[in-house]
């Protein structure tokens, strides 16, 4: 009985994560996040050293 309850809770948790990741409200947030590596970095401020490779 306990293992059945744990299984159902695990399935509900998985479904919640899938809904969070693929739900319609997350689309815009993930569109912005996928562009982060392509954006230029902000200029270095006082006290920071800019490293160029």
pLDDT tens over the chain, length 53 residues: 899 999 999 999 999 999 988 888 888 888 888 898 888 876 656 666 666 76
50 part of a folded domain: no
pLDDT value, residue 25:
83
Residue 17 lies in a domain: yes
C-beta of residue 29 within 8 angstroms of C-beta of residue 21: no
Q: How many domains does the chain have?
A: 1
Evaluate whether residue 26 is within a structural domain.
yes
Residue 24 lies in a domain: yes
Q: Do the domain assignments include residue 44? A: no
Q: Write down the pLDDT at residue 18.
A: 94
**b or e along 9-42 (b: 16 or more beta carbons within 10 Å of the residue's beta carbon)?**
eeeeeeeeeeeeeeeeeeeeeeeeeeeeeeeeee
Residue 13 lies in a domain: yes
pTM higher than 0.85, yes or no? no
- Asked whether residue 45 is assigned to any structural domain, the reply reads no
Residue 53 falls inside a structural domain: no
């Amino acid at each position: 009985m306990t293992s059945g309850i744990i299984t159902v809770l695990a399935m509900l948790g998985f479904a919640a994560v899938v809904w969070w990741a693929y739900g319609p409200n997350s689309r815009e947030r993930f569109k912005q996040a996928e562009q982060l590596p392509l954006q230029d970095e902000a200029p270095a401020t006082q006290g920071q050293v800019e490293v160029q490779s």
